[in-house]
Amino acid sequence: MEDKALVQLEQVSQVYRSGDRRFYAVQDITLRVHDGEFVCLLGPSGCGKSTLLRIITGLQKPTEGRVLYRGEPLVGINPHATIVFQTFALFPWLTVQGNVEVALKARRIPPHIRVPRVLDLIDRVGLDGFESAYPRELSGGMRQKVGFARAMAVEPELLCMDEPFSALDVLSAESLRGELMELWTEGKIPTRAILMVSHNIEEAVFMADRLVIMDKNPGRVVSEVVVDLPHPRQRKSAQFLEIVDQVYGVLAGTTQPEPIELGSTPGGPGQIRWLPDVSINNLIGLLEHLNKTPRQAYDLYKLAGDLGIDSDLLLRLVDAGEMLGFVVVAQGDVTLTPLGETFSEASILARKEIFATRIRRLPLVRWLLEMLRQTPDGRLPEDVIKTALSLELAPAEAEKQLDLMITWGRYGELLAYDEITHTVILEPAGVALPS
């Protein structure tokens, strides 16, 4: 059974150092991709799925653990793997043909062999007639076709795709997915296995044979789902929707009693519940939508379809609603709470008040308010807070969390922020201790 795995990760971890703190981008991952398999790494942004992809291709060396390719330890960049990038990564100064050719040129394939091969590939992905066009003349979908053609030109055994459809518009993405699946399932490309990174649940279920579901802080594998449906898959079929629902259930989790749900403060024992990266306007939009059918459980996958947003954003929004006590989640269903109902019906000012009382219950916000109260004038430089947060988080993530706290705090009128001096300021409403 050992020899059947194309790629094998054994307890792989990637550690980032910041000062003398260590942060896991991914922790203790064990994973196999078998010959003939299409595997999708699925999870929220920041769960390290792209890092994992880079480790598998050899672009990044894991801090701990082993990477095996066909049973052999991987040294340097895997010559049998290639990547299709999210942003296409085309050289803007090369034509379509030039972009595909350059991959072969670097492998020292002489012009008389590579030119016909390249033209054939361009034809196969449906870009015939655009050989001499520059990437900037093409639409997003066509650019990614060039990306595919270039990746296939080197005839990789392992095709890695880093969210290949997320920079495309909905319709282009849809048609490109179908075309790729056609090439793959009908064996028109010499690829032995595909590994795709995605945060879009439907896309993953539509394409992959197996979903490896990940979560963040630290990045880890939480579950695996096998999709045993024949291609081409019918998105409206009962089995398809059942799997989608199941995956939503795994990713959205279940609302816990408040003390567990809200987590602990920085420095305290237990897990800190970080703020999800959402805009407040989007959250209000979601709540208002749910309020159209109050007190009714709503399937998350249906909600994504109705709102026309991808699963990643929806999950973050639901996460935020859950933290604030506006919704509860169970088994892939979301239900508006009475508080959520009140909030979505309230006036602009009343909403702010409800929001303020709710965020004051969040340990993270409480921690920040407490720090500000300790100062003589209720002001703290941004950097001080960032440094305090960096004890728990990687620097970029700490900055993001601080930004979110400031934005939420400003909306709830608990905080103000001075952009010139980069100072966070306590507002009068933030001074009062929470009841």
Partner 1 sequence: MMDRVYQTKQPFRPFSKSDIFVLLVMIAFLYLGVHLGLRAPKVVAGPEILLAPRWLPYYALRSVGRMAAAYLLSLVFALCYGYAAAYNRRAEQLLMPLLDVLQSVPILSFLPVALLSLSALFPQGLAAELTSIILIFTSQAWNMTFSWYQSLTTIPGELREASHVFRFNGWMRLRTLELPFGLPGLLWNSMMSWAGGWFFLMAAETFTVGQHDFRLPGLGSYLREAANLGDVRAIFWGVGTLVAVIILLDQLLWRPLVAWSERFTLEMVERDFPATSWFYNLLRSSALLGRVSHGFSLLGEHLDAWMLKLWPYRSEGVPAAGVGRRRYLGMALRIALILVVAYGVLRAVGLLRTVPIAQWGQIGLGVLMTTLRVVLALVITLVWTIPVGVAIGLNPRLSSWLQPVAQIVASIPATALFPVFVLALAGLPGGLSLAVELLMLTGAQWYVLFNVIAGAATIPQDLRYTTSLLGLSQWERWRTLILPALFPYVVTGAITASGGAWNASIVAEYIEFGGQTLRVKGIGDLISFATVQGDYPMLLAATLTMVVTVVLINRFFWRKLYRLAEERYRME
Pairing of strands 415-418, 81-84: unpaired
Q: Are 326 and 337 in contact (CB under 8 A)?
A: yes
Asked whether position 17 contacts partner 1 by CB under 8 A, the answer is: no
Nearest residue (CB) to partner 1, 79 versus 259: 79
Count of H helices and E strands in the chain? 17, 16
Q: Give me the least distance between CB of 292 and partner 1, in Å please.
A: 36
Asked whether position 36 contacts partner 1 by CB under 8 A, the answer is: no
Nearest residue (CB) to partner 1, 162 versus 202: 162
Asked whether position 77 contacts partner 1 by CB under 8 A, the answer is: yes
# residues near partner 1 by CB under 8 A: 37
- Letter for the amino acid at 331? Q
For residue 12, give every residue at least 6 positions away whose Cβ sits within 8 Å of its Cβ, in sequence order, or none.
Answer: 26, 28, 29, 30, 31, 52, 55, 62, 64, 65, 66, 67
Give dist(CA 35, CA 192) in Å, integer.
6
Asked whether position 419 contacts partner 1 by CB under 8 A, the answer is: yes
Q: Give me the least distance between CB of 50 and partner 1, in Å please.
A: 10
Asked whether position 82 contacts partner 1 by CB under 8 A, the answer is: yes
Q: Give me the least distance between CB of 150 and partner 1, in Å please.
A: 8
Give dist(CA 262, CA 400) in Å, integer.
19
Convert 258-282 to b/e letters by CB count within 10 Å (16 or more is b): eeeebbbbbeeeeebbbbbbbebeb
User: In this chain, which of 14, 86, 255, 311 binds partner 1, going by CB under 8 A?
Assistant: 86
Q: Is 28 helix (H, G, I), strand (E, B) or coil?
A: strand
Q: Is 39 helix (H, G, I), strand (E, B) or coil?
A: strand
Nearest residue (CB) to partner 1, 37 versus 162: 162
Q: Give me the least distance between CB of 325 and partner 1, in Å please.
A: 38
- Contact region with partner 1 (CB under 8 A), list: 72-80, 219-227, 303-311, 405-413: 72-80
User: In this chain, which of 10, 28, 45, 58 binds partner 1, going by CB under 8 A?
Assistant: 58
Residue 227 tokens read as: 């999709």
Asked whether position 135 contacts partner 1 by CB under 8 A, the answer is: yes
Q: Give me the least distance between CB of 85 and partner 1, in Å please.
A: 5
* Geometric angle at alpha carbon 402, from 287 and 428, rounded to 5°: 80
Q: Give me the least distance between CB of 77 and partner 1, in Å please.
A: 5
User: In this chain, which of 4, 22, 36, 93 binds partner 1, going by CB under 8 A?
Assistant: 93
User: In this chain, which of 1, 19, 20, 106 binds partner 1, going by CB under 8 A?
Assistant: 106
Residues 141-170, interacting with partner 1 (CB under 8 A): 150, 154
- Contact region with partner 1 (CB under 8 A), list: 73-81, 285-293, 398-406, 408-416: 73-81
Quote the DSSP letter at residue 187.
T
> How far apart, in Å, do the first and last CA atoms of the chain sit?
60
| Residue whose C-alpha is closest to residue 9's, from 155, 212, 192 | 212
Q: Give me the least distance between CB of 21 and partner 1, in Å please.
A: 21
Q: Give me the least distance between CB of 387 and partner 1, in Å please.
A: 17
Nearest residue (CB) to partner 1, 87 versus 271: 87
Tell me whether residue 241 is exposed, middle or buried, using C-beta atoms within 10 angstroms of its C-beta: 0 to 12, 13 to 18, 19 or more: middle
Q: Are 311 and 248 in contact (CB under 8 A)?
A: yes
User: In this chain, which of 14, 51, 57, 97 binds partner 1, going by CB under 8 A?
Assistant: 57
Q: Which residues bind partner 1 (CB under 8 A)?
A: 54, 57-59, 61, 74-77, 79, 81-83, 85-89, 91-94, 102-103, 105-108, 110-111, 134-136, 150, 154, 419-420
